Structure 1
Amino acid sequence: MSERVRIAIVGSGPSGLSAAARAAQLGLSHVLLERATHLSDTIHKYQKGKHVMATPSALVLRSDMEFGAGKREAVLDTWDQQAAALGIHVMYGAEVQAIAGEKGSFIVALKNGGQVAAETVVLAIGTQGNPTLLRCPGGDMGHVQYQLDDPGEYVDEHIVVVGSGDAGIENALGLSADPAQRNTVTILNRSADFARSKPANVALLHEAAAAGRLTIRLETSPAEVRKGELLLDTRDGQEIIPCDRIIARMGSAPPRNFIEACGIAFTGPDREALPVLSPAFETSRAGVHVIGALAGYPLIKHCMNQGYDVVEFINGNHSLKPADEPILAERLASLPGQRSVDQWLDLLRGNIDIFSDVSPLQLRELLLDSTVRSFAPGEPLFVRNDTGSSLFAIAEGSVVVEIDKGDPARIVTIGQGQIVGEVGLISGRRRGATVRAGGPVIAVELSRTAALRLIATVPAAGRAITRVSIERQILQMFGSGLTREDIAEVIDSAEVTTVRAGEAVLTEGETGNDILVIRRGSMAVEKTIGGKTVFLSYLPAGSYVGEMALLDGLPRSATVRAAVRSEVIRLPGDAFARLLERKPDLQRKAMADMAARRDINAFIEGRKEQFSSSVDMYSETAQFLVDNGLGEATDVLLIDETLCIGCDNCEKACADSHDGLSRLDREAGRTFAHLHVPTSCRHCEHPHCMADCPPNAIHRGADGEVVIDDTCIGCGNCQRNCPYGVIRMDAVPPKKPSLLSWMLFGSGPGPGEAPEKWRKAHAASDEVPKKAIKCDMCSGIDGGPACVRACPTGAAIRIAPETMLSVSRLAKEE
């Protein structure tokens, strides 16, 4: 079978169907080639009953096909009717094998032996046929599947959904929607953010979790698939859960072999890389165009607009602007220079390093979730200790970083094309420095969601951000007058590795000279003494280890293992040794750090025989503290039970300082020896409670405290995400009267928490607003934490990780 058309469109998904509709409306000869027996196989494969969203809502739909939010079945039925009414020429069962010829005279070869002659070809084949596979032991077992057709088919099963994109979330929601099916549904997200998902889907997911219909496991990934169970790598170690079925929805990639065989170049070698495209969607092979998910636009409305636009371009309408043009024009209108949208896009792609491999189409979508701003000389982009996790990319001008809060004259200049704010993006911590415009500056501020999506979808951008963050962390950590040029050799071969809780990164007795920098999480240092494992020290994020073997050439003197799920930067020892030779100041710093570690070793070794039981107590106490939150904490409340008299002044003082709601429970929590860890916030290095706060009500204060402000809406996400159970949702009590009114007239509740009778009466009431309650270290209150100040015996103390060694020694000595 052979025919000749003006346009051959491959794939009848939303973009291809919209392109065919436009061609039919314009009276252009065309054929829509679909390998399935029905239209829009992409939507057809959505799970039964799925609600299809029409986002972004601000974007105008430009298509001859109708589309609005609704059930999958209704959307497909509407498209079938309209395709017939428009007279779209569809060829079913037409799987394309090759594209030969050149623009104006292509031959599209079909698997069934047929051919189609076309002047131009539009590829709208998507990426769904090339899913990312589960790569762990057992990942090829029969109960692992990559598609969910009908959630109603599964009853009374333990089902694990792997993947935190929209497809994974929607599958999890569908499987847990009907309680009568009795499914136990768990969704795994390897990170703490749902960066690739629509906010509406994320909200529905948390709503389902709050109702008990499913379980969300953050910072968790499959380690091994077994019959009837699944071994997980979690933030705190490995865990086994029952598992009858795995739905793996971890994304997909372009069918690269086929695309490259068609003569089309990609933006890079990565599996997730996309074809090189012009603004008119034309590829590196003249006359062949790519639209839809294969062009980097996965949303249906975007795809349909592209289908309309590409046919207009092919038909000679070169003045047509994309549908998002008015939105972008409005956002860029206040910038100096009177540039058009296209001119701004060219400038941003040309001037900003992390955008160099981003296609114009991807950049347009990225800017819809970002802000392009101009800054006057001296104006701050952000200020030291500000909360914020956005990323700034400098398009024009340069900025200065005030690296020393005590000396504003100490600055580092960061020029055009580079980024700032990557520390807040990666760690979620407050800003570590003030950054000001060094002159007139234009910068793109990417929201955390936009930046994480950029990292996830453009591998080259992710690598560039990672390199900058490593480079700056090394410069900040080692100081000693180092420059970017000094450490270039070390950074070029540095590797970032994710380490599961309990996994050793260095092992006592092994050889090696690499240096490890803790990028996120924390490490415990252990040594075997007398056949027993003894805890030596704790290393928080920002520390480094491994210099002893590099400097003295001996085997590793201790084992270093992750206290929680962590990230480490491995710096090659040989390159670092050459750096030490060139930089005497750095070598002296490394020698001093090695001497400090040897002091700790000597402390343990010196008591090996005389105080063997005490050493055991020291080690066990330190391990207890790590197990109970110090492994990722910045501040922990401890109570010395040899001094505590049970007066509860700590709880009363806390309540009186916080509107009658105490932030701690003295009696709750765990105890080891005489050290008690009550139920009180740890103020984690990377707070899990901040992972999904819709109003962004959780922030870090100037002293590292994690605070929930008055914008809290009582959704409970922070309570669910906290691994230590230190956040509760409670009714807001009535305002307390003055002390005099209470004493003289008995007005209202007295000191301490609101009365138990009032709290019980309002605990389940929907009329009294709820808010998240947790320790804020008495932020903004003179004198520091009220619980410590109110303790009459000094039993209550607050410690940071750096002081844990001293506390462990104190426990030993007593």
Structure 2
Amino acid sequence: MADKFRVVIVGSGPAGMSAAGRAAQLKLKHVLLEKTDHLSDTIFKYQKGKHVMATPSQLVLRSDMDFDAGKREAILEIWDKQTEACGVNVQYNAEPVKIEGEEGNFTITLKNGDKVLAETIVMAIGTQGNPNLMRCPGGDNKLVQYQLDDPGEYYDEHITVIGSGDAGIENALGLAADAAQNNIVTILNRSPEFARAKKANVKLLMEAGEQGKVDVRTETTPAEVKDGELVLETRDGQETIKCDRIIARMGSAPPRKFVEECGIEFTSEDREAYPKLTPAFESTKKGIYVIGALAGYPLIKHCMNQGYDVIEFINGNKDLKPADEPILEKKFADLPGGKSVDEWLEFFRERVTILNELSSLQMREFMLDSEPRRYRRGEVIFEKNEPGSSLFAIAEGSVAVEIDPDDPSITVPIEEGSIFGEVGLISGRRRGATINAAEDLIVVEISRTAALKLQASVPAAKRAITRISTERQLLQMFGSGLTKEDISEVVDTSEIMNVRAGEAIIEEGSEGNDIYVIRVGSMVVEKEIGGKPVFLSYLPAGSYVGEMTLIAGGMRTATVKAAIKSEVIKINGDAFKKVLDKHPDLMRKAKQEMASRQDVNAFVEAKKDSFSGVVDMYSGVANFLVDNGIGEATDVLLIDENLCVGCDNCEKACADSHEGLSRLDREAGRTYAHLHVPTSCRHCEHPHCMSDCPPDAIHRGPDGEVFIDDTCIGCGNCQRYCPYGVIRMDKVPPKKPSLLSWLFFGKGPGPGEPDKQWAAENSDPDVEKPKKAIKCDMCAGINGGPACVRACPTGAAIRVAPEEFLTVAKLEQEDA
């Protein structure tokens, strides 16, 4: 029988290699099992020449192996030399297929039939061998590959990279690095932000996008893979691009079947869940420890520290604290109670619903990006209309939400374990209400980046945030004294649906009684008249539709489809009918809404013969506006060219209100009939420009205006993300003197002009001065509202919300 090892380490990645190095230094009888013929297969499979980062920078490295940022090849060479120098016992081509036995007496069966005996086992097998696969039609096409070894191998190809993490970004950058290769590289991200990737990588990608090296497409997913083509699902509908190769880097999941067969339990049934572990990395199977990516810690420095620590724990060092302990101790220092770091981590994990399924290791990483805070009773956490996109989770106490601006004493509570601030997280809007501590309070403030990362990596957290935000949106929308208990069945049976542009959620003439609440995006309502679809109305985010058949029965009376890529809450009609029946006030409100829609339908039917020409024209205008991005606008500038005399007073007034730099280009943009949409900010419901602003300089004001504050660093991300070309990067002029100072004393430039001295200094192409992002802010803070509208002598320029003009009710007014 073979000798028994004190510890067997499975997998020679950064975590396993570091563990083996520590075991060798402590003279523990050990063996490092590696299924390939080389060390650290994950790093070995990185693309050639890849720059490997050493993050987080504030974390010290605790390992017998060296590691610093550098090229893949140099790092692997150092590790090979140090592994040999430390006397690590490595067995190559040794892949475990079965683990049996108990602590002190494990038997590991290898793929070749050999057996290895162990007292303890350290699993450091990673997750890269179990990648997430493409699941769209054609996902098994030969164009698709899940690994990129050498970007330099590919020439003259149209290559699409799918994935928003570091691997996907680095693959895209590598394929586009050498212009001589002549590759056309596209990267797809289903979200508006690259939440999983390191900031440095995102910055490099954005720069490559600006330079035209990589086509960066956010909010885009693959719809179908064809030979030589890839069909994309975008915000504005489907698009087909040429594609010779797809590099799919969509993450990976733990090799669950093998791990569970070893007797190890996971935190949940989710495919991407991680094993249950103690703070010392021990699994639910005594004697088997789990470290590295399989434990939920994919960063190299974390993995190497865990490798060192786990061997110390196995060797009896019970007093060893993790390397991030000093950082976390400092974070928790101001909280009451004198708890240890481990106690605080467990305190937050147990008490906050969205954190319940995080492991202790994931909690440590999560808290590095978050801030625990305490508030005394009565203290204000944030005030209504304050900028802010962070999420707050209540670990102890409760908060009071002020719901009546005229009477702060009227509040609703949010209890312990729940969250608040989700509106800012989801929509980017300013805080919707003032929130106070109803009692002494302990919360964790989760940055937007950390919240997005949490939702992307922990499915249970995403479900919890979605449920809470759905529940609150329904209560706010329907009101009538409803409580969360009243709508619990409605929320339980509801479904979040992603709807592509042009896709119908309701078809005219179909059956069904479900109600749809528009969560993100917008919808248009159409009715078929004389064999042609006639535009009836526009529904922005926050609207609901579908109640007519629920209340009155019959077939659907109109078609409702997405104006842009949208997200809706599908509410089970039968569940909502129970709520209506129990709440007469809500039923009356729903019937009033239904009656107004019935009036519109009746009006169109009555006018379909005598008024068909006007209806056709109006429908064409409405569809033109939706096609040009008005479907996601909250405030848009329109110009009636029948009234416009081309005086350009609107541009001059805009410039005069903004130190001489106009935010408006009157002549640019598209026109339908006599209606012109100039190049000016639409103040989108979910602004593209907010997608990745490093200093968080873009906010939404109390009147809905999207503005850029003085913390802008001029990175240009907002300009790249805006699909309407309404943001530019420019040098910022000094403040102008008042109009009276110019008029009576000749101070400063005239109306609509920038400072003359500043203009002269900035006309020199050899003088490089910092630039900042410039866009329309709806003249926020200026009495009288938007200057462009006030300055128009003929009334041709108007700023309106889409729902104010995209309604067939306008026809009724004109007819009257």
Q: TM-score range by the shorter chain?
A: over 0.9
* Native 8 Å contact 2:428 2:699 kept in 1: no
Q: What code does the residue aligned with 1:256 have?
A: R
| Counterpart residue number, 1:252 | 252
Q: 2:201 aligns to what SS in structure 1? A: helix
Question: How far does residue 769 in structure 1 lie from its aligned partner after superposition?
Answer: 2.5
- Number of aligned residues: 814
| Counterpart residue number, 1:464 | 464
| Counterpart residue number, 2:786 | 785
| Counterpart residue number, 1:70 | 70
* Native 8 Å contact 2:508 2:555 kept in 1: yes
* Native 8 Å contact 1:731 1:759 kept in 2: no
* Native 8 Å contact 2:535 2:808 kept in 1: no
* Native 8 Å contact 2:536 2:807 kept in 1: no
| Counterpart residue number, 2:775 | 774
| Counterpart residue number, 1:336 | 336
> What is the distance in 1 between the residues matched to 2:760 and 2:420?
47
1:165 paired to 2:165: yes
> What is the distance in 2 between the residues matched to 1:114 and 1:538?
69
* Native 8 Å contact 1:523 1:538 kept in 2: yes
Q: 1:638 aligns to what SS in structure 2? A: strand
Question: How far does residue 460 in structure 1 lie from its aligned partner after superposition?
Answer: 1.1
1:212 paired to 2:212: yes
* Native 8 Å contact 2:736 2:755 kept in 1: no
Q: 2:215 aligns to what SS in structure 1? A: strand
> What is the distance in 1 between the residues matched to 2:812 and 2:42?
63
Q: What code does the residue aligned with 1:809 have?
A: K
Q: What code does the residue aligned with 2:228 have?
A: G
String of CA shifts for 1:464-506, please: whole Å, max 9, x gaps.
1111111111100000110011001111111111111111111
| Counterpart residue number, 1:227 | 227
Q: 1:747 to 1:393 in 2, by over 3 A?
A: closer
Q: What code does the residue aligned with 1:792 have?
A: P
Question: How far does residue 807 in structure 1 lie from its aligned partner after superposition?
Answer: 8.9
* Native 8 Å contact 2:32 2:90 kept in 1: yes
String of CA shifts for 1:654-713, please: whole Å, max 9, x gaps.
000001000101111111122111110000000000111112111111111000112222
Q: What code does the residue aligned with 2:260 have?
A: E
> What is the distance in 2 between the residues matched to 1:517 and 1:105?
58
* Native 8 Å contact 2:154 2:181 kept in 1: yes
> What is the distance in 1 between the residues matched to 2:168 and 2:812?
48
Question: How far does residue 410 in structure 1 lie from its aligned partner after superposition?
Answer: 2.3
Q: 1:695 aligns to what SS in structure 2? A: coil
Q: What code does the residue aligned with 1:714 have?
A: G
Q: 1:169 aligns to what SS in structure 2? A: helix
* Native 8 Å contact 1:277 1:283 kept in 2: yes
> What is the distance in 2 between the residues matched to 1:750 and 1:803?
36
| Counterpart residue number, 2:188 | 188
Q: 1:536 aligns to what SS in structure 2? A: strand
* Native 8 Å contact 1:169 1:202 kept in 2: yes
| Counterpart residue number, 1:802 | 803
String of CA shifts for 1:437-474, please: whole Å, max 9, x gaps.
00110000101111111111111111111111111111
Indicate the RMSD between aligned Cα atoms, in angstroms: 1.8
* Native 8 Å contact 2:490 2:576 kept in 1: yes
Aligned ranges 1:268-667 → 2 under 5 Å: 268-667=268-667
String of CA shifts for 1:96-149, please: whole Å, max 9, x gaps.
000011000000100011111000011100000000001111111111100000
> What is the distance in 2 between the residues matched to 1:158 and 1:755?
48
> What is the distance in 2 between the residues matched to 1:441 and 1:682?
40
* Native 8 Å contact 1:160 1:245 kept in 2: yes
Q: 1:745 to 1:574 in 2, by over 3 A?
A: closer
Aligned ranges 1:597-746 → 2 under 5 Å: 597-733=597-733, 736=736, 739=739
> What is the distance in 1 between the residues matched to 2:38 and 2:20?
15
- Tell me which moved more, 420-429 or 512-521: 420-429
Q: 2:473 aligns to what SS in structure 1? A: helix
* Native 8 Å contact 1:398 1:413 kept in 2: yes
- Tell me which moved more, 617-626 or 309-318: 617-626
Q: 1:803 to 1:373 in 2, by over 3 A?
A: same
Q: 2:270 aligns to what SS in structure 1? A: coil
> What is the distance in 2 between the residues matched to 1:64 and 1:443?
38
Question: How far does residue 751 in structure 1 lie from its aligned partner after superposition?
Answer: 2.1
String of CA shifts for 1:311-369, please: whole Å, max 9, x gaps.
11111111111110000000110111221111111211121111111111101100100
* Native 8 Å contact 2:236 2:565 kept in 1: yes
Q: 1:490 to 1:705 in 2, by over 3 A?
A: same
Q: 1:712 aligns to what SS in structure 2? A: coil
* Native 8 Å contact 1:659 1:735 kept in 2: yes
Question: How far does residue 805 in structure 1 lie from its aligned partner after superposition?
Answer: 3.0
> What is the distance in 2 between the residues matched to 1:525 and 1:30?
69
Q: 1:187 to 1:641 in 2, by over 3 A?
A: same
Question: How far does residue 426 in structure 1 lie from its aligned partner after superposition?
Answer: 1.4
Question: How far does residue 409 in structure 1 lie from its aligned partner after superposition?
Answer: 2.6
Q: What code does the residue aligned with 1:419 have?
A: I
* Native 8 Å contact 1:742 1:749 kept in 2: yes
Q: 1:367 to 1:564 in 2, by over 3 A?
A: same
Q: What code does the residue aligned with 2:131 have?
A: P
String of CA shifts for 1:733-790, please: whole Å, max 9, x gaps.
4554665775688776432144999599649555132221111000111111111111
> What is the distance in 2 between the residues matched to 1:435 and 1:734?
38
Q: 1:27 to 1:430 in 2, by over 3 A?
A: same
> What is the distance in 2 between the residues matched to 1:769 and 1:232?
37
* Native 8 Å contact 2:733 2:755 kept in 1: no
- Tell me which moved more, 473-482 or 788-797: 788-797
Question: How far does residue 812 in structure 1 lie from its aligned partner after superposition?
Answer: 9.8
> What is the distance in 1 between the residues matched to 2:159 and 2:612?
49
Question: How far does residue 602 in structure 1 lie from its aligned partner after superposition?
Answer: 2.2
String of CA shifts for 1:504-532, please: whole Å, max 9, x gaps.
11111110111111111111111111101
Q: 1:309 to 1:566 in 2, by over 3 A?
A: same
Question: How far does residue 207 in structure 1 lie from its aligned partner after superposition?
Answer: 1.2
TM-score with structure 2 length normalisation? 0.97
* Native 8 Å contact 2:636 2:682 kept in 1: yes
Aligned ranges 1:17-96 → 2 under 5 Å: 17-96=17-96
Q: 1:739 to 1:486 in 2, by over 3 A?
A: closer
Q: 1:631 aligns to what SS in structure 2? A: helix
* Native 8 Å contact 2:47 2:148 kept in 1: yes
> What is the distance in 2 between the residues matched to 1:766 and 1:70?
35
String of CA shifts for 1:189-240, please: whole Å, max 9, x gaps.
1011111011111111111111221111010010111111111000111111
| Counterpart residue number, 1:143 | 143
Q: 1:764 to 1:243 in 2, by over 3 A?
A: farther
Q: What code does the residue aligned with 2:792 have?
A: C
TM-score with structure 1 length normalisation? 0.98
Q: 2:328 aligns to what SS in structure 1? A: helix
* Native 8 Å contact 2:10 2:32 kept in 1: yes
Question: How far does residue 407 in structure 1 lie from its aligned partner after superposition?
Answer: 2.9
Q: 2:32 aligns to what SS in structure 1? A: strand
> What is the distance in 2 between the residues matched to 1:502 and 1:740?
52
* Native 8 Å contact 1:618 1:809 kept in 2: no
Structure 2 unaligned blocks of 5 or more: none
> What is the distance in 1 between the residues matched to 2:314 and 2:448?
37
Q: What code does the residue aligned with 2:67 have?
A: F
Q: What code does the residue aligned with 2:810 have?
A: R
> What is the distance in 2 between the residues matched to 1:569 and 1:257?
34
Question: How far does residue 170 in structure 1 lie from its aligned partner after superposition?
Answer: 0.5
> What is the distance in 2 between the residues matched to 1:735 and 1:457?
46
